[in-house]
Amino acid sequence: MAADANHRILVVSSRARNKPAIYSSVLSNIHLVEYNYETTSVEDIKEKLVKQLNGNKVASMAMVLHSSGRELFICSPGPAVVSLKAIINDPAIKEFFSYLAANIFDTVWFHNFFPSYMSLVLTFNFRVESEK
């Protein structure tokens, strides 16, 4: 199904900071997916996203994660992290973002604004680094 241009998804890790402020800011067009960092795998996150969207797709997605300054931590089982090294060398991370691009995002919107999952990851890294 095509995405409604206004629908977004927000994925929030249990380790994210300032969750009350995040939750109070979520608008009605944003699907919220929460997960436990310690017990949830990337496969579990994908399942949660599919269940939440119920066959629909979204125009964009944001993930609120914790970081070390060099890595963004998606989940402990695996473990799954986003870093330059992981993007280059970890097939599971590549598959995770490729899955999101193919199954979560409206393809037309995604290809117009994020030509690859790498752009998405670099956006996350830029935001983390610029907040220091």
d(CA 49, CA 36): 14
Rounded CA gap, 9 and 29, in Å? 8
Mean per-residue pLDDT over the chain, rounded: 79
The model's pLDDT over 36-62, given as tens digits with 9 standing for 90+, comes to: 999 999 999 999 999 999 888 888 888
- Letter for the amino acid at 94? K
Centre a 10 Å sphere on the Cβ of residue 79 and count the other Cβ atoms it contains: 13
With bands split at pLDDT 50, 70 and 90, how would you rate the model's confidence at 131?
A: very low
Strands (E), 4-130: 8-13, 30-35, 60-64, 66-67, 72-75, 80-82
